[in-house]
Amino acid sequence: MFRRVTHSRENVVALFLSLHQAPGLSAEEVAGYGPDVARGVHATFRQMYANMDSGFIVTLYEADSAAAVEQEFERVGFPFDAINEIDFALSASELTEMLARG
């Protein structure tokens, strides 16, 4: 079954998935953002997926709120289209297990 991602604001921060459109962005430009992204002042970077040809980028951050992720993008100077909190997660192994149970 789906695993609900729960947050205890005392000791666990939420996960946020953000969408970006940056046509023409090169790997070198992404690397140039690296030091600022790694500093993580308002939110903590976890993962990035990108199609460099189309400029479609998805990032995963930990933060206390979507507003904190937005502040982080503004601090770094990287535009975003959407920021969404993740409240459900399902891994490939969990999907296989769910299907096996019927």
pLDDT at residue 84 is higher than 60? yes
Tokens of 99: 């299907």
| Size of the chain, expressed as the number of residues it contains | 102
The residue to which tokens 């729960």 are assigned? 6
The residue to which tokens 């993962």 are assigned? 47
pLDDT at 2: 45
Nearest to 17 by CA among 92, 80, 76: 80
Stretch 70-96: mean pLDDT: 94
pTM for the full model? 0.82
CA gap 102, 98 in Å, rounded: 7
Tokens of 9: 């604001």
Q: Under a CB-based contact definition with an 8 Å cutoff, are residues 58 and 21 in contact?
A: no
